[in-house]
């Protein structure tokens, strides 16, 4: 009986051991199953990384391309912006800066069309300083011509009530007058030569350039306008020790002293070397129309 009980126990132990071997596969079989899974995960990870790199490269190339296109646009845009204004100036303004307002009045509609161009090309934080300066100089001069044409015939801009305070021109969502452009925009750009580029339609003003200001030519145009005005004996009388200057140098004295004295500024553009001790006085200003 004891032998039968012992035999039964041995058979039971053997059966349990067999079940364990069936349920739990050998360790090497587990490894074979795991390794392909790890390989697939790694392959997918590499593919994702490659896609991310590709997307980053595309985005980077797009940014660079857009920047180049923007630069090209800003380089080419200014000439197109002021083309019609340039045509009007060449047609109605002499080399001496005299304006034929009578003939200009016939092209008043063309001038209004130029204002529509200015509406769509307003300077912003992306446009260059040269673009901004040339834009606002041209706008100021064109608006001044428009003001005269609205009231022509007249003998002087001062025949118009509050000529520099009238907000007649809208750019974007804002209405501007001439004082806004001169004092709130142009003078704040710290370029004193703008005083010889913007014109108040009067004889004692600097002459109106018979071409549009553009970023590409701005430095040459500002230098020439300043030199021409300063060395014009009808506007300024200069010798080494005596100066009889336009009142522009009195009205805006602060603007000409940004990098030294007024004499320092004048000597950059004067044909005559002026002594630092030269005596100064100022001419009467002739407000007769510049025609």
Which pLDDT score is estimated for 80?
85
- What pLDDT, in 10s, does the model give residues 166-178? 999 999 999 999 9
CB atoms within 10 A of CB 69: 10
pLDDT category of residue 50 using cuts at 50, 70 and 90: low
Q: Decide: 274 and 240 in contact? Cβ < 8 Å.
A: yes
The answer on pLDDT for 204 being more than 70 is: yes
Q: How far is CA 130 from the centre of its chain?
A: 7
Q: How far is CA 184 from the centre of its chain?
A: 16
Token pair recorded at residue 17: 């051991």
For residue 85, the cross-strand partners are: none
The chain-wide mean pLDDT, for the chain, equals 83
Which pLDDT score is estimated for 49?
52
pLDDT category of residue 71 using cuts at 50, 70 and 90: very low
Nearest to 274 by CA among 263, 284, 283: 263
The answer on pLDDT for 56 being more than 90 is: no
pLDDT category of residue 46 using cuts at 50, 70 and 90: low
Rounded to 5, what percent of the chain is helix, strand, coil? Answer: 60, 10, 30
- What pLDDT, in 10s, does the model give residues 138-174? 999 999 999 999 999 999 999 999 999 999 999 999 9
**Which element (helix H / strand E) includes 237?**
strand 237-238
Distance CA 10, CA 1 (A): 15
- Find the range with the poorest average confidence among 8-12, 76-80, 148-152, 225-229: 8-12
Distance CA 267, CA 274 (A): 6
- What pLDDT, in 10s, does the model give residues 255-275? 999 999 999 999 999 999 999
The answer on pLDDT for 83 being more than 90 is: yes
Distance CA 137, CA 194 (A): 7
Q: Decide: 268 and 229 in contact? Cβ < 8 Å.
A: no
CB atoms within 10 A of CB 178: 23
């Amino acid at each position: 009986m004891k032998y039968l009980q012992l035999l039964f126990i041995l058979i039971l132990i053997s059966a349990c051991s067999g079940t364990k071997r069936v349920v739990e596969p050998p360790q090497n079989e587990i490894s074979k199953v795991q390794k392909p899974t790890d390989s697939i995960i790694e392959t997918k990870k590499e593919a994702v990384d490659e896609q991310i790199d590709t997307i980053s490269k595309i985005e980077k190339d797009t940014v660079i391309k857009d920047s180049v296109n923007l630069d090209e646009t800003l380089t080419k845009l200014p000439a197109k912006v002021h083309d019609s204004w340039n045509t009007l100036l060449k047609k109605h303004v002499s080399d001496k800066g005299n304006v034929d307002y009578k003939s200009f009045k016939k092209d008043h509609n063309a001038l209004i069309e130029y204002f529509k161009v200015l509406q769509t090309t307003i300077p912003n934080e992306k446009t260059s300083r040269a673009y901004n300066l040339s834009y606002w100089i041209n706008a100021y001069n064109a608006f001044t011509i428009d003001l005269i044409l609205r009231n022509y015939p007249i003998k002087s801009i001062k025949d118009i009530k509050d000529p520099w305070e009238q907000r007649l021109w809208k750019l974007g969502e804002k209405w501007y007058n001439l004082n806004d452009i001169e004092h709130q925009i142009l003078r704040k750009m710290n370029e004193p030569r703008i005083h010889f580029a913007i014109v108040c339609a009067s004889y004692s003003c600097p002459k109106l350039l018979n071409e549009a200001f553009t970023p590409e030519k701005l430095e040459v145009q500002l230098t020439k306008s300043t030199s021409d005005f300063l060395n014009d004996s009808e506007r300024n009388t200069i010798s080494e020790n005596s100066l009889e200057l336009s009142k522009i140098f009195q009205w805006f004295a602060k603007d000409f002293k940004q990098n030294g004295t007024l004499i320092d500024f004048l000597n950059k553009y004067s044909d005559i070397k002026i002594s630092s001790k030269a005596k100064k006085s100022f001419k009467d200003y002739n407000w007769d129309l510049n025609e």
